[in-house]
Amino acid sequence: MLTGAPDGDTRHVFAGDELLRRWCAAVELGALGCGAAALIALSELTVDARRAGDGPLAALATTTAASLYRQSGRHRDARALDSRGLAFVDAAGAPSRHGVPMWNRAALADTLVNLAADNLGLLRFGVSHRLLERADVVLGRPDDLGEGPWLSEARCRLRLLWVRAEWALYTDNAEHALEVAERAQAQLAARADRGTERHRIKTGLVLAAARAGAGATEQARLDAAALRDQAAEGGLLPLCWAASSLLQGLGDSPDSGPVGSVSSTGMSVNDLHRLLVARGMPFVTSANDR
């Protein structure tokens, strides 16, 4: 069964940061697969952030909604939302209530990384690479995640590493993808707070995919199965579905676990997909949605 709740980012937010807390709560709804509730919360937050003159937070809310569309395979819709988010952060001008350059930089970096992922899904590899380079410059071309604030710094740098690894996989450079993914996992483990559970699982999934691309299929299968179970235990339905989908791509039956029996989640990849749809995740319904 899917149990628990994610150990979310709210522990990284000061009690007085009400809009930031609402953003973190919406992110956690999405992490649980409650797509409809998350999208409503993010839409309302975008409106309230703009009314408060907080362009960076409006951008973060908008690009988080875009991430839910991208996770559901709707890369064009995600790109449209991310482009809107970029306009919010570019138009912000005045300092955010939460402190610029920190939050302005975080919003800009997230938006650029998201746009890179959108364009990667649309097979626009050159555009994606240029956006990753821009994000790298915004974040100061970091060599590691560092011990700075999680939400506004290390998280952004980790997401950049994810998409860099994915870009390498898409462009047939599995060895580089593996190097980037291994570096991301090592640096996340080295942080005192170790990020959040969902970031640890997502980092592990990127590494498993990179291992599969580099030919280490059995290790990738073992990793993906363990990560699927961790995601199920934490109630992280989208990550559970992603891990199950990776296992299916590695040759497992869509209705079974890695050794031919029903998976420990008690749900097949098709069951997980149906549950996500029921919870309002905006999956593609036609080729036009892509």
Residue 212 lies in a domain: no
Q: Name the residue among 130, 198, 214 with its Cα closest to residue 164.
A: 130
Quick check: 289 pLDDT over 70?
A: no
Mean pLDDT of the chain: 87
Residue 280 lies in a domain: no
Which pLDDT does position 6 carry in this prediction?
A: 42
Residue 134 lies in a domain: yes
Quick check: 219 pLDDT over 90?
A: yes
Of 14-23, 127-136, 221-230, 244-253, the poorest mean pLDDT is in 14-23
* Section 102-126 average pLDDT: 95
Domain count, the chain: 1
Which pLDDT does position 279 carry in this prediction?
A: 96
Instruction: Tell me 12's DSSP state.
Output: G
Parent domain of 96? 18-141
Residue 102 lies in a domain: yes
The CATH number assigned to the domain holding 34 equals 1.25.40.10
Q: What is the pTM assigned to this prediction?
A: 0.89
* Residue 96, Cβ density class (10 Å: 0-12 exposed, 13-18 middle, ≥19 buried): buried
* Residues in Cβ contact with 258 at an 8 Å cutoff, skipping those fewer than 6 apart: 221, 222, 224, 225, 247, 252
Residue 41 lies in a domain: yes
pLDDT tens digit sequence for 144-199:
888 888 999 999 999 999 999 999 999 999 999 999 999 999 999 999 888 899 99
Residue 66 lies in a domain: yes
Which pLDDT does position 17 carry in this prediction?
A: 82
% of the chain with per-residue pLDDT over 90 = 74
Pull the structure tokens for residue 83.
Answer: 């482009």
Residue 174 lies in a domain: no
The Cα–Cα gap between 65 and 38 comes to 8
Residue 93 lies in a domain: yes
Q: Do you find a cis peptide bond into 254, omega within 30 degrees of 0?
A: no
Mutual angle of helices 237-249 and 217-233, in 10-degree steps? 160
The Cα–Cα gap between 59 and 107 comes to 6
* Section 197-219 average pLDDT: 97
